[in-house]
Amino acid sequence: MTPVSSPDYTTNASRSPFQTRWTVDAVAALFELPFNDLIYRAQQTHRQHFDANAVQLSTLLSVKTGGCSEDCGYCPQSARHEAGMPSEDLLPVEDVVAAARKAKENGASRFCMGAAWRGPKDRDIDNLLPIIEAVKDLGLETCCTLGMLKDGQAERLKEAGLDYYNHNLDTAPEFYGRVISTHTQQDRLNTLERVREAGIHVCCGGIVGMGESRRQRAGLIAQLANLEPYPESVPINNLVAVEGTPLANAEVLDPFEFVRTVACARITMPKALVRLSAGRQQMSESVQALCFLAGANSIFYGDKLLTTGNPEAEQDRALMRKLGITPL
Ligand code: SAM
Ligand code: DTB
Ligand code: SF4
């Protein structure tokens, strides 16, 4: 029987004395633990930092859909794939505010606005500022995911009241080029740096179920946990395989492996909100409950993600009632 052992991590003198540096081996060893030991450990970590029965609710809105220049293999919004959704304009401020108001009435605390861009032009930022200000004025936390940022753009977003910027590392560095060829993971790291420097909270995670190995899943988690500091918010997406994208026929990931990924994120990033993100509509309630047990404490709430489906809000409220979970 394998005992629950401490991770074999190394500390690096140049880092904050409070942050553990995780080797890929150490995270891979967590993945290898017996399932019950891993979940127990994740639950212990979770309870040190959070109310174990509270889950944060964020609502997503695609404020600019389709026509993206990038070739991310999972994404239905890329203009390069057959799925290729038509390019729409940025939504008017009134439409976004109406959706945000509804999200707040339904109980969401954060409103996330996504745009299918490689990155915004300065003119796009001009148009987004009044939107961010208006959503913030409703008393919601604001989050944007707009792609790669150029110098000065993050500062402007911060000034308008942006609380979080979502920008995912998506997969292990050595797998990244297999999924995306139009930008590099280093480009993403550069944007994360700009976001941090502007004083915006970082929301950064990835996608599993794209054909990566367990070691590569461990590599993604280690890379996220080693960001300095690690992200405040870590979305773990399960691939939503969309017809017409290169990953449409990817082999479905064993749900226990998804739960293990959530547990590893919780253990390695103890104070982060670990977000059970895309893929919930395809997941049974029991697997979602296991994810909460493994330390997930945030979900997307509302019947749509960006372009694909999410459980109906009423269904989520019923699940939370059954599990005795309250909004964070
Ligand atoms: N264009 C911006 C970017 O790439 O950062 C923002 C929008 S993009 C759709 C945001 C994130 O959604 C991606 O980084 C990816 O992690 C996630 N995503 C996109 N398509 C997905 C899918 N089919 N399944 C799961 N996650 C997906
Ligand atoms: C994240 O990590 N997941 C969300 C959010 N950040 C922007 C997006 C999921 C998108 C799923 C596919 C779609 O609906 O288009
Ligand atoms: Fe999709 Fe974002 Fe990649 Fe564009 S940059 S294809 S919107 S994930």
Q: Quick check: 113 pLDDT over 70?
A: yes
**Average pLDDT over all residues of the chain:** 94
**Nearest ligand to residue 66 Cα:** 3
pLDDT band at 154 (very low <50, low <70, confident <90, very high): very high
Closest residue by Cα to residue 74 from 179, 145, 167, 168: 179
Q: Each residue of 13-68: pLDDT tens digit?
A: 445 667 889 999 999 999 999 999 999 999 999 999 999 999 999 999 999 999 99
**Nearest ligand to residue 208 Cα:** 1
| 80 is known as an active-site residue | no
Beta strand 273-276 with 298-300: parallel, antiparallel or unpaired?
parallel
306 lines ligand 2 (CB under 6 A): yes
Residues composing the chain? 328
Q: Each residue of 193-225: pLDDT tens digit?
A: 999 999 999 999 999 999 999 999 999 999 999
| 291 is known as an active-site residue | no
Can you tell me the mean pLDDT for 65-87?
Answer: 93
Dihedral through CA 131, CA 137, CA 140, CA 143, nearest 10?
A: 30
Q: Each residue of 89-109: pLDDT tens digit?
A: 999 999 999 999 999 999 999
- Shortest-distance atom of ligand 1 to CA 278: 25
Q: Quick check: 129 pLDDT over 70?
A: yes
Exactly one of 144, 275, 280, 291 is catalytic; name it: 275
Whether omega before 231 lies within 30 degrees of 0, making that bond cis, reads no
Exactly one of 72, 204, 264, 291 is catalytic; name it: 72
Are 42 and 31 a contacting pair, CB within 8 Å?
Answer: no
255 lines ligand 2 (CB under 6 A): no
pLDDT band at 233 (very low <50, low <70, confident <90, very high): very high
DSSP state of 170: B
